[in-house]
Amino acid sequence: MTTDVRLLMVDDDEDLGELIGDYLENEGFKVELALNADEALLKLKHAERYALMILDVMMPGKSGLELLQELRPAVTLPVIMLTGRGEEIDRILGLEMGADDYLSKPCNPRELLARIRAILRRSENQPKLTLFPNKVVEHMEITLDPGNREVTVKGQAIELTGTEFNVLGYLLANPGQVMSKEQLTELVLHRELTAYDRAMDVHVSRVRQKLAKHLPEREVIKTIRGAGYMFVQG
| pLDDT at site 53 | 96
Mark the ranges of the chain whose per-residue pLDDT is less than 50.
1-2, 127, 129
In whole angstroms, how far apart are CA 139 and each of 133, 135, 203? 13, 13, 20
197: left (phi over 0), alpha (psi -120 to 50) or beta: beta
| pLDDT at site 121 | 84
Average pLDDT, the chain: 87
Q: Find out whether 169 and 137 touch, Cβ atoms under 8 Å.
A: yes
| pLDDT at site 2 | 46
| pLDDT at site 207 | 96
> What's the pLDDT tens digit per position in 1-24?
445 799 999 999 999 999 999 999
In the chain, what are the domains? Answer: 5-125 (3.40.50.2300), 137-231 (1.10.10.10)
